[in-house]
A and B are shown apart, each in its own frame.
Chain A
Amino acid sequence: MAHEREGAGSSATKATLKIWRADAEVAGSGELVAYEVETYPGMVVLDAIHAVQAKQAPDLAVRWNCKAGRCGSCSAEINGKPKLLCMTRMSTFAPAEPIVVTPMKTWPLIKDLVTDVSHNYRVAKKIPPFAPRPRDADGRWRMQQEDIDRIQEFRKCIECFLCQDVCHVLRDHHETEEFVGPRFLIHLATLDMHPLDTVDRRPMIKDEFGIGYCNITRCCTEVCPEHIVLTDNGIIPLKERVADDFYDPLRWIARKLFPPKHKKRLPVLPDAEPARPLGVPAPANRAETVDAEE
């Protein structure tokens, strides 16, 4: 790196990182270990962790891919705040204070900063996939830009799972089986608002996917590194659509007679594992809470 450091020589300063070192398979492991690194212009926390790996702790586990905020691999908590390691500049912290880096709290730990996020992949698989209406006569589909602006915003999601990490329903109440979490609510919103899609997922959004658990704290929106306005643009409109459908008797009848758009109901989840044993009703008064919130 020597030739890249021009201009950094005189201002070379040091910073201290306290990194969570733990191994799920080693009983009793788990401690914050302090490492000192030399800083240089533009340095991000991920650079500092790489410096530690290269010189001091070669077995330190961390996920990353792009180092440009594109892939959503390097999620962790910096001084307790869910962040991307590659998009957090060292210069945002007071040089004298140690920077504390810990893994995402919501997911089971694997090693050091790496957690088991497989839950998210299982949820993704449970969501019935996109199914478009037939193409136009010339074999293409037409969509107006303004009709897709909103869902293009949701599709900026890099699946960093920081919103999942911060959401109290998952983080503190561990309702992972009942509630898909904000990332997947906006995925469901994307599908619901997709101009070409034909599947009606609203009953599932209410039941299997547990939208009622969200009480609109907006923590997910705050941490999203892609600046997606999850709550106001995605989750609230989705709640309204779902609530309208189910709690307005007239709409309910209308819906039975004229299903929305070209959407068809899916009788069962296509995936093997049912989210809830059949016949068990959704927990009571969730949707009422929602109405009260709005």
Chain B
Amino acid sequence: MAETKYETHQHDVLVIGAGGAGLRAAIEASAMGLSVGLICKSLLGKAHTVMAEGGVAAALGNVEPRDSWKVHFRDTMKGGRYLNQWRMAQLHAMEAPARVNELEEWGALFDRTKDGRILQRNFGGHKYPRLAHVGDRTGLEMIRTLQQHGVHTGMQVYMECTVTRLLGDGPSGAGASRRRGRVTGCFGYWRENGKFVVFEAKAVVLATGGIGRAFKINSNSWECTGDGQALAYLLGAELMDQEFMQFHPTGMVWPPSVRGTLITEGVRGEGGTLRNKDKKRIMFDYIHPLYASETADTEEEADRWLAESTSGVASTARRTPDLLPRDIVARAIHTEVKEGRGSPHGGVFLDIFSRRSAEDIKKKLPAMYHQFKELGDVDITKEPMEVGPTAHYTMGGIRVDPETQETCIDGLFAAGECAAGMHGANRLGGNSLSDLLVFGRIAGLHAGRYAKATAGKHVDPAQIEAFAREALEPFDRDEGVNPFAVHEDLMNVMQTYCGIMRNERDLKTCLKELDRLKEAAARTKVVGGNRHYNTGWHEVIDLRNMLIVSEAMARSALARKESRGGHARDDFAEMDPAFAKVNHVCRAAGGGMELEAAPLPEVPDEIKKVLLEEDR
């Protein structure tokens, strides 16, 4: 087993991750005439992005001409409870329309308005209909478009290749003499045969997605194990906002096989309403003061808003509370269930059948229709769905410079779900797909510029040898634990102690449990088989990453003694202005993890003005 040989590839820019963010970054760097390598754990086109359903948010103003980047920016900051890096939220809102239009240039076919432009739909926390979409398979359209365009730009794609380490050195020293460190490439293995591979690169972009697989009930693909965050952390980069995990309000709850599988917010965007077991519409009881002035407080007003805003009329009514931001809706469902007003399988009801015709439902939400029919034995054109919160999106991630997406390590960039800053404490639906496009491009651009200005880098063979041995350890142990069992254990620990409702006691238990799991993970053993496509071995490596990011999440959550966005505590149930000024940053230090409360960047006056403006 101790075969540590490896092959080597060289590129100017290396992109790790082929979801929306990675593909967009690679396209940008390729367009600069650079040699680009794109690495992914799965086959091309299968990344988590393919599952995105509802749409991509961009203030195109096609359905509601009053929309503009300013309104989108305001909605995003408010949704993130003002913990966002304002500059990222601004860049995002300003550039998203161009990025969406560009997809059309590459062959994407969004649903159309009557006059032939891109149609936009309502989504939670967005003041106006803003999400460009294709039925409920927007992610598929996006990834296929980027993939089909990308493979013709000359980039080299390395599929089913898992990166286990970044090469280079991290920051060192302290104070003014602190060195930033630099990245020189990465180390990984081919899933197919377990052989090792080294990529040398001038610049590296991480675009590896989130960490939903650390939770028992989640909507994520197997790939979402926080690899990029862990890789960056291990090299010395910083993780930020890690306490903010988005629990999407509407996951499937029954049957057990599909528990957690997502139901798009588009269902509510198309008129779906949440009801408890007494058939009462629940959301009118949970209107957060922050949103009171813009939210309908009667069913009559909510329905008038829906009818008008979906028929292209500029509505004077206020938005339905069913479309409040996700953290608010998820907690409302959590409360209804806890107080005994839930559905038979521990969720609430989501009803579209009484609101739209069967024909409309099948046309607008075809994937939902099939998903329930084939996996849940429910015909959503005739009966309500049962829904409940599911771990969905990681707001936290690698800390980056808002202008360039560069980390604190020279040449190392991050974009998409694995990066932090854009969404603050809570992400609005649809803002991720646009985030991938906007910041994927920015990361690719700046990685490209960095590569152009940099001479070749050399990797250190001793470092590679050490990483190869590390990867093979689980084969060599005489005895050990089953990695699948440790993963199952981790999912239960995070779900129970670091889930949708947290408190000090649970979070302390969580950290203790994580110590126990770290110790167990260090003893995992690959039983049977060789290095060929060995899922048990792959699981061992993913575990290390999930444990690092889970620890950062629990530590940050413990330190944040308030409730804000995706982080809710029953021992500190309200927002606390003192915590409105800081982001939590985790980094490796002295053999452990250190946490810092970093002050938010000052918002310039002209941006403050935009935030305070009322749109007419």
Interface residues on chain A, size class: 35 or more
Q: A66-B51, A117-B43, A152-B134 are in contact. Are A4 and B532 (CB under 8 A)?
A: no
- Please encode chain B, from 354 to 384, with 1 for each CB lying within 8 Å of some chain A CB and 0 for all others: 0000000000000100110011100000000
> Is the beta-carbon distance between A58 and B527 smaller than 8 angstroms?
yes
A68 and B368 CA atoms in complex are apart in Å by 10
Find the B residue at minimum CB distance from A43. Answer: B257
Note all chain A residues with C-beta closer than 8 A to B157.
121
8 Å CB contact of B42 from A63, A196, A270? A63
Complex Cα spacing A147 to B148, Å? 22
The reply on A167 being an interface residue by CB < 8 A is no
Given contacts A42-B375, A155-B141, contact A64 B222 (CB under 8 A): yes
- B140 pairs with A158, CB closer than 8 A: yes
List of A residues within 8 angstroms of B134 by Cβ? 152, 155
When distances are taken between beta carbons in the complex, the residues of chain A under 8 Å from B193 are 25
Assembly CA distance A55 to B612 (angstroms): 57
Q: Is B484 within 8 A of A54, CB to CB?
A: yes
- A56-83 vs B, Cβ < 8 Å mask (1 yes, 0 no): 0111111111111111110000000000
Residues of B within 8 A of A145 (CB): 111-112
Knowing A58-B527, A114-B533 touch, does A70 contact B257 (C-beta < 8 A)?
no
User: Are B534 and A71 neighbours in the complex by a CB distance under 8 Å?
Assistant: no
Assuming the contacts A25-B193, A59-B536, asked whether A68 and B51 have C-beta atoms less than 8 A apart, the reply is yes
B12 at the interface (CB under 8 A from A): no
Determine if A141 and B112 form an interchain contact, defined as CB atoms under 8 angstroms apart.
no
Return the chain A residue nearest B193 by Cβ: A25
A8 CB-CB contact with B under 8 Å: yes
Q: Mark B15-54, 1 if CB is under 8 A from A, else 0.
A: 0000000000000000000000000001111111011000
- What's the least CB distance linking A204 to chain B, in Å? 15
Is there an interface contact between A143 and B532, defined as CB atoms closer than 8 Å?
Answer: no
Q: Could you tell me the distance between the alpha carbons of A226 and B139 in the complex, rounded to whole angstroms?
A: 15
Contacts of A111 in B (CB 8 A): 192, 532-533
CB of B254 within 8 Å of the partner chain:
yes
Contact of A61 among B222, B367, B533 (CB under 8 A): B533
B255 at the interface (CB under 8 A from A): yes
Specify the chain B residue showing the minimal Cβ separation from A46: B257
Give every chain A residue within 8 A of B144 (Cβ-Cβ).
155, 157, 159
Given A71-B51, A151-B109, are A59 and B46 neighbors across the interface (CB < 8 Å)? no
Q: Are A155 and B257 in contact (CB under 8 A)?
A: no
Contact B536–A155 (Cβ < 8 Å): no
User: A124, B221: Cβ atoms under 8 Å?
Assistant: no
Bound Cα distance A136, B602 (Å): 41
Within 8 A of A (CB), among B420-474: none
B485: nearest chain-A partner, CB-CB:
A54
What are the residues of chain A within 8 A of B255 when measuring CB–CB? 40-43
Q: Is B576 interfacial (CB 8 A cutoff)? A: no
Inter-chain contact A59/B221, CB cutoff 8 Å: no
Interface residues of B in 111-155 (CB under 8 A from A): 111-112, 115-117, 134-135, 137, 139-141, 144, 148-149, 151-152
Distance (whole angstroms) from the CB of A49 to the closest CB of chain B: 10
Contact residue among B152, B222, B485, B530 (Cβ-Cβ distance under 8 Å from A65): B222
A8 lies within 8 A of B51 (CB): no
Complex: chain A residue closest to B119, CB-CB: A145
Q: Which residues of A contact B112 (CB under 8 A)?
A: 143-145, 148
Tell me the chain B residues, 150-170 only, with Cβ under 8 Å from chain A. Answer: 151-152, 157, 159
CA distance A175 to B12 in the complex (A): 38
Contact B42–A4 (Cβ < 8 Å): no
Q: Which among B116, B151, B367 has the highest number of chain A CB atoms within 10 Å?
A: B116
Q: Is B105 positioned at the interface, with any CB of A under 8 Å from its CB? A: yes
Report the minimal beta-carbon distance from A269 to chain B, rounded to whole angstroms.
Answer: 12
Q: Are A42 and B152 in contact (CB under 8 A)?
A: no
Within 8 A of A (CB), among B203-226: 221-223
* A208 interface residue (CB < 8 Å to B): no
Task: State A89–B373 Cα separation when bound (angstroms).
Answer: 12
A59 engages B528 (CB within 8 Å): yes
- A4 surroundings in chain B (CB, below 8 A): 256, 259
**A-contacting residues, B82-127, CB 8 Å:** 101, 104-107, 109, 111-112, 115-117
Task: Give the interface size bracket for B toward A.
Answer: 35 or more
Q: CB-CB < 8 A to A63: which residues of B?
A: 42-43
- Docked CA distance A194–B139 (Å): 20
- B482 at the binding interface (Cβ < 8 Å): yes
Q: Any chain B CB within 8 A of the CB of A251? A: no
B535 and A72 form a contact (CB under 8 A): no
B479 interface hit (Cβ, 8 Å): no
Nearest CB of chain B from residue A148's CB, rounded to whole Å: 5
In the assembled complex, A95 has its CB within 8 A of some CB on chain B: no
Query: Known interface pairs A61-B535, A65-B223, A152-B134. Does A70 touch B109 (Cβ–Cβ under 8 Å)?
Result: no
Contacts known (A54-B488, A142-B116); A70 close to B50, Cβ less than 8 A? yes
Q: Which of A1, A121, A148 contacts B109 (CB 8 A)?
A: A148
- Which residues on the A side are within 8 Å of B535 (C-beta)? 53, 58-62
Contacts of B371 in A (CB 8 A): 68-69
CA distance A15 to B258 in the complex (A): 19
Decide: A65 and B256 in contact? CB cutoff 8 A: no
Chain A 36-52 interface residues, beta-carbon cutoff 8 Å to B: 40-44, 47
Contact of B526 with A by CB under 8 A:
yes
Interface contact A143-B107, CB-CB below 8 Å: no
A125 at the interface (CB under 8 A from B): yes
B43 A58 Cβ-Cβ under 8 A:
no
Expressed in whole angstroms, the Cα–Cα distance for A287 and B450 within the complex equals 53
A61 touches B137 (CB 8 A): no
Is the C-beta of A112 less than 8 angstroms from some C-beta in chain B?
yes
Q: Given that A66-B221, A144-B116, A145-B111 are known contacts, is A40 also in contact with B257, CB under 8 Å in the complex?
A: yes
Q: Is A264 an interface residue (CB 8 A)?
A: no
Contacts of B223 in A (CB 8 A): 65
Residue with the greatest number of chain A CB neighbours at <10 A, chosen from B43, B104, B137, B536: B43
Q: Is the CB of B529 closer than 8 A to any CB of chain A?
A: yes
Say whether, besides A142-B115, A151-B109, A58 and B374 are in contact (CB < 8 Å): no
Compute how far the CA of A183 lies from the CA of B112 in the bound complex, rounded to whole angstroms: 25
Name B261's closest neighbour in chain A (CB-CB): A68
Contact A130 B48 (CB under 8 A): no
> In the complex, which residues of chain B have a beta carbon less than 8 angstroms from the beta carbon of A1?
256, 488
Given the contacts A117-B43, A140-B117, A194-B107, A110 and B192 also touching, CB distance less than 8 Å: yes
Interface string of B41-79 (1 = CB under 8 A from A): 011111110110000000000000000000000000000
**What are 13 A-B pairs at a CB distance below 8 A?**
A43-B255, A54-B488, A58-B484, A58-B528, A65-B51, A68-B375, A69-B370, A70-B367, A124-B151, A132-B105, A143-B109, A143-B112, A145-B111
Chain A residues near B (Cβ < 8 Å): 1, 4-5, 8, 23, 25, 40-44, 47, 53-55, 57-73, 87, 89, 110-112, 114, 117-118, 121, 124-125, 129-130, 132, 139-145, 148, 151-152, 155-159, 191, 194, 196-197, 270
12 additional contacts, CB 8 Å, given A8-B256, A40-B256, A125-B151?
A42-B376, A59-B534, A61-B532, A63-B42, A65-B42, A65-B48, A66-B48, A110-B533, A121-B43, A125-B152, A132-B105, A197-B107
Shortest 7 CB-CB contacts between residues of A and residues of B: A42-B255, A59-B529, A58-B536, A142-B116, A42-B257, A130-B107, A61-B533
